[in-house]
Chain A
Amino acid sequence: MRRFVISLVAAIVVVLAVGGAVVAGSGGGSSITRARLERSLPTTFSNLYADQAVLLGHPGVTPASLHATAMCDKGGAVEPDVGAGSNWNCLVSWTDPDNPMPPEGYGKFELQVHSNGCWTAGGPSKLVGFATLTDTKGREVTNPVSEFDGCFDPHGDSSPTGVEFPSLLGVTTTALRPDRDGRVSVQATCGTGSDGCRGTITATAGSTDLGTVPIDVDEEQTGTFSFDTPVPTAAAEVTFTVRLTRGVGPSKPVTLEMPA
């Protein structure tokens, strides 16, 4: 029993010491990098998307015809894009005449990346469909691109791919809550992308201009924008118009009702 305890303690100490030394010596270097994901994900996605096209009976879709590219990011602007985690997001763009990209030009995939270089990706259902689909023979089958696994070579090419996509800014407030003086504020989130969101947001209530506020939000961050001019009591709704110099805003102005 004494030997067992000694062995156990010795083993743990050795493992911790060696592990600590290695981690300290390498600065925590990981083989999981943005570039490797940006190469791995489009390859796997293209193969599986072509399979989906066969199931759906869409002719002419091959992995090569999709020209898929991806830009990946871990945890937004505040975290380096390296290492395992479930907070990786990848923006993937591809060409399918039957299924055009949205205005921002990409779809967002959420990835869980394991330390062994394997990952699980969940695709945007608006672009790739739901977990199951109905094939040409009318059978309910698993959608190969709704959720899928892949692995990359931990020694593979890790030079930057140069693929960049702008962030997508979305207004996240769904109901206005004016303060005592009738002033409103609105929240907007800047999505995954290369450089965050910059520009202005203007609010109008009927014919009253509530003002224009500058936007400067990093990717995967949320900003709150308050307008100094009170909303006239007669106004039933407020319209917010976003104009961005960096990033992509909503294509149409967002209109929110005033509470009764």
Chain B
Amino acid sequence: MTASTLASPRPSNTCARKEAGLGSAILWETRKLRAQLRSRALLVGTLLAPVAVVLVVGAQSRPPKDSLFGRFSTENGFAMSLLVLGFASQWILPLVTAIVAGDAFASEDQHGTWKTVLTRSVSRSRLFWAKVLVSVVFGLVALVVLAAATIGASLLIVGRQPLTGLSGQLIEPGAALGLVAASWATMAPPLIAFTCLALLFSVWSRNAAVGIAAPVVIGMVMQLVGSLGGIEAIRPYLLTTPFEAWHGLLAEPRFTGPILDGVLSSAVWSGASLVAAFLVLRHRDITGG
């Protein structure tokens, strides 16, 4: 260290100091996210992967009939984007959001930086909400990119033909585009709930691998449980059920009951996860790092 002059610590007037606001904390979390390779790679992946999927599925000689809209997917762009939606909601969306949310709190443990940030002028709750908001917004951005890439690639590669709905009705391309976009939009509530679940595991396990894997595994288990016969009564409480609420938009007459149920159950799951995560973080002794 140099022997250079250090301006003597001025007797700072501590009353002039302001506690760091939520905005500053959000800005900080956003900067960290932008600097991370994984978040950038994830967004590039959500942009490019749908194009590859559409190209591969579109080139099949036999359409994948065992999935909803699969039988029309090779000859109808709207059906293709709904086929990809059905697949993405089952396997991809929980993973995409958990990759960032599951790491949000655990990375501070991994790098030992809890003590670094919490010895500044930011309260645990501000930091908590900043991480929650940044993770949720990132999840939604990933969803929008995935939806836009899928719909764009499907319409460009497969085409804009009238779509056969789930009641056998014919939907004109103009209306179909709106319904397909709305269907993708109904992914937002369960996606947010999975984000909150990943945040809870991130806070609780202090391990990014658990934060990322646990929501995905829970999603798979729920998917499995929800598809079993005989125990359909638990479906309304599962977090994977809202992922299928879009079916009603493609029926005639249209039904939106499952979407409203989905918003409600997603809200309950999100709220419960966030409250639990907040309490764990609030009462935690930071002994590591």
Contact = CB atoms under 8 A, between A and B. Distances in A.
A15 B255 CA distance: 29
Interface string B157-171: 000000010111110
Nearest to B260: A155
B218 interface: yes
- Quick one: which of A19, A51, A149 has the most chain B CB within 10 A? A149
A96 to B, nearest CB: 16
Interface string A59-93: 00000000000000000000000011100000000
The SS class assigned to the A binding surface is mixed
B251 to A, nearest CB: 6
A83 B229 contact: yes
A147 interface: yes
Contacts of B214: 4, 7-8, 11
A132 interface: no
A18 B232 contact: no
Interface residues on B, range: 35 or more
A188 to B, nearest CB: 30
A204 interface: no
Interface string A1-32: 00110011001100100110011011111111
A58 interface: no
A116 B240 CA distance: 11
B39 to A, nearest CB: 23
A149 B71 contact: yes
Given A28-B230, A154-B258, A155-B255, A44 B167 contact: yes
A115 B227 contact: yes
Interface string B170-188: 1000000000000000000
B11 interface: no
B232 A83 contact: yes
Interface string B185-225: 00000000000000001001111011000100110011001
B129 interface: no
B42 to A, nearest CB: 23
B226 interface: yes
Contacts of A19: 225, 231, 234, 237
B68 interface: yes
Given A7-B214, A84-B229, A85-B229, 9 more contacts: A8-B217, A11-B217, A15-B221, A26-B233, A43-B252, A44-B167, A83-B229, A115-B226, A115-B227
6 contacts: A4-B214, A7-B210, A18-B237, A19-B234, A28-B232, A148-B168
